[in-house]
Amino acid sequence: NIQMALHNSNVNRLMAFGIAGLSVVADSMAALKYDEVYPIRDEDGLTIGFRRGHPNREIPQYGNDDDRVDSLAVKVVSRLHEELDKQPLYRGAKATLSVLTITSNLVYGKATGSTPDGRVQGEAFAPGANPMHGRDKNGALASLSSVAKLPYSKCMDGISNTFCLLPNALGQGNGRFKNLATLLDGYFSHQGHHLNINVLSPDVLREAHAHPEKFPNLTIRVSGYAVRFNRLTPEQREEVMARTMHSASVVTMAKRDNDHELYQSEEADVRSMEGIDLGAKLGSVYSLETFSTTDGPGIRTNVFLQGCPKRCLFCCNPETQALADPKKHPEFAMSSCELTSLVGKYSEWLKPRGGGITVSGGEALVQPDFVSDVFQRVHGLGLTTCLDTACYGNKPRWDKVLPHTDHVLLCLKGMDNDVAARVAQVSPEEMAKSKEFARYIRDQYPNIKITLRWVLMKDITDTDSELDALVDFAKELGSVFHAVELIPYHELGREKWTA
């Protein structure tokens, strides 16, 4: 009949096998490779946990586009498939492998003891090929890149990546759909094969967990399938809520003491850094956020530099304030060539819709030579450049960076210099430079587009006089003015100040 006619005459017999806890294995292997890990035994000599010899040492973790650990995950799936392929199977079947758990990651986690990566006994595995919850800290693109490295030729039964985004992560308006399409296109261009996307609000999930009867139709992707949230068990709902939900977020805590001062380290051997011998510049970089839709056009990678002379009342990244000589603080040292290489890995995501790199801080203009060289190299990749600044320095310093800048996000602390000084905790004369900086761009660099960022603080920057002055200033900038971005005051960095 017709159905049989459509069958392959050469029948392929397959036998399916699966991996659960891949990220646990990869992170555990990384802990063993890059630290000293010792078993903790009970009175019967049974291993009940592990301790690291250097608990403060930074260990690479799967989900951050770090080949030191991602290569271990690749090796695990490749070696397992090779070994399965050696086994004689029923009726000559060929082994296929999947990295897909549905909800069994909870069941397997319950039955598994503590592991060298720091996971405790009974803790759920991450679903499918996902990084462990909260460990993919370098943003959405880094997380996607790690999973995309898994070879589909070894896992032809499927590699499931269940990916969560906060609603604001995709930007505003119709741009959200285009950004999502770009995200998908980039993942598949990196040889990714299966992506389940949730756009979820943690607040909604918490409310639906506490009162499932109020959300009878709330549907989410779990791991390869969709289900109504209230049909999951309480444990399953808690596991979903623990997953990483990506957005352009406040940078994570730095290594510091309670006064936000940096620890002194041994001097870095800068000669060994990528491109230094060929003229690359050395900079002090705190962290990267690989995915942002709110810091310039398109999808962007944000680079947070170390060092800022201001002490703003609303600063959510106080750990980036201390000035750090990269030669004396190798934990921050990065060459402009190395940074450009990192950004270049995400060019399939960044190029569409005028995306690129945004350099923030700290204060980006504290390191003008580094920023200038990075911007020139990034332009060579066909990406756009954006300077996120509150202004620092003088015209010779500005002239190093502005010729290679496409967009400026200028954070005005206040229109009245005394108000701005109160917010930034520096002199009124210093704060007057931010307006001078914008006028200088208008007069000397008319192709740059300026977005004025304005944090609304009650009775400080939300007064009629301040807002009227802001409007007048925007008009004064003429053709270089792009938009005013009103930012509600928030306390996302509160725990950093109270730590």
Tokens of 378: 């990034």
Residue type, 307: G
- Give, to the nearest 10 degrees, the angle between helix 67-85 and helix 22-34: 120
Residues 6+ apart with CB under 8 A from 434: 390, 391, 410, 411, 412, 413, 420
Q: How far apart (Å, rounded) are the C-alpha atoms in residues 431 and 412?
A: 9
Q: How far apart (Å, rounded) are the C-alpha atoms in residues 295 and 302?
A: 8
| Nearest of 166, 162, 94, 100 to residue 133 by alpha carbon | 162
Beta bridge partners of 304: 287, 360
Q: How far apart (Å, rounded) are the C-alpha atoms in residues 360 and 349?
A: 20
Q: Tell me the three state secondary structure of residue 165.
A: strand
User: Do 125 and 20 contact (CB within 8 A), yes or no?
Assistant: yes
| Nearest of 388, 367, 406 to residue 453 by alpha carbon | 388
Q: How far apart (Å, rounded) are the C-alpha atoms in residues 329 and 158?
A: 43
| Nearest of 393, 228, 211, 364 to residue 283 by alpha carbon | 364
- Predicted TM-score of the model (pTM): 0.84
Output the tens digit of pLDDT for each of the chain's 499 residues: 666 677 777 778 899 999 999 999 999 999 999 999 999 999 999 999 999 999 999 999 999 999 999 999 999 999 999 999 999 999 889 999 999 888 899 999 999 999 999 999 999 999 999 999 999 998 899 999 999 999 999 999 999 999 999 988 888 888 888 999 999 999 999 999 889 999 989 999 999 999 999 999 999 988 778 899 999 999 999 999 999 999 864 444 333 333 444 444 455 555 556 666 668 899 999 988 899 998 999 999 999 999 998 888 878 778 888 888 888 888 889 999 999 999 999 999 999 889 999 999 889 999 999 999 999 999 999 999 999 999 999 999 999 999 999 999 999 999 999 999 999 989 999 999 999 999 999 999 999 999 999 999 999 999 999 999 999 999 999 999 999 999 887 766 666 656 5
